[in-house]
Amino acid sequence: MTDIGSLPAQPVLKNFTPYQAKPGEKYMSEGQRAHFRSILLDWREQLMQEVDRTVHHMQDEAANYPDPIDRATQEEEFSLELRTRDRERKLIKKIDNTIEAIAQDDYGFCESCGIEIGIRRLEARPTANKCIDCKTLDEIREKQFGI
């Protein structure tokens, strides 16, 4: 049986070269959109590879252990993996929606107030659809009203 600690960690956005805007370059120029499209496609590929690894791991490790404790441990391990993959499935959908927003030239601007989200914020969180101020206000409202 595989030890839970030896399972691969959730993939993170691998290193990339931060975008260097050219003097006078317009926000969300074709170069910037291509930069973020590349980041998102790489991230999506990492997540898809993780899904494949999970399927293979579960197929390879599936066993009907006679000991109930071993069975329970395996079921809990699989349950944790499936919950993680479900979160990643939702993230993949969000990445796909973001790639579509780039294609529609509707990326990089806050959906609440319309201002630029900013290159560095988008590099930190490429699927962000709100500026830091609007996101902070949303989080304060969630805390206050338990939304």
- For residues 2 and 35, the model is more confident at 35
Residue 43 in this model has a pLDDT that exceeds 90: yes
Q: Which two tokens stand for residue 64?
A: 């009907």
* pLDDT given at position 147: 64
Are 101 and 36 within 8 A, CB to CB? no
Whether 48 shows a pLDDT value over 50: the answer reads: yes
CB neighbours (10 Å) of residue 107?
Answer: 23
What pLDDT is attached to residue 85? 87
130-134 mean pLDDT: 96
pLDDT band at 1 (very low <50, low <70, confident <90, very high): very low
Domains of the chain: 26-107 (1.20.120.910), 110-147 (no CATH)
φ, ψ for residue 127, nearest 5 deg: -95, 5
Tell me the C-alpha distance between 123 and 21, whole Å: 13
Backbone angles phi, psi at 112, to 5 degrees: -90, -50
Q: Which residue has the higher pLDDT, 68 or 25?
A: 25
**What pLDDT, on the 0 to 100 scale, is given for residue 6?**
39
- Per residue in 69-125, pLDDT (tens digit) is 988 888 888 888 889 889 999 999 999 999 999 999 999 999 999 999 999 999 999
- Average pLDDT of 33-59? 90
Say what the pLDDT of residue 113 is.
96
pLDDT digits (tens, 9 = 90+) for 7-25: 334 445 667 889 998 999 9
Angle between the N-to-C axes of helices 30-61 and 68-103, in degrees from 0 to 180, rounded to the nearest 10 = 160
- Look-up: residue for tokens 């529609």? 104
How deeply is 53 buried, as exposed, middle or buried, from its count of CB atoms within 10 A (0-12, 13-18, 19+)? Answer: middle
Within 8 A by CB and 6+ apart from 44, the residues are 92, 95, 96, 99
Distance CA 90, CA 52 (A): 16
pLDDT on residue 102? 97
Handedness of CA 44, 50, 54, 60 (dihedral sign): positive
- Cβ proximity of 116 and 136 under 8 Å: no
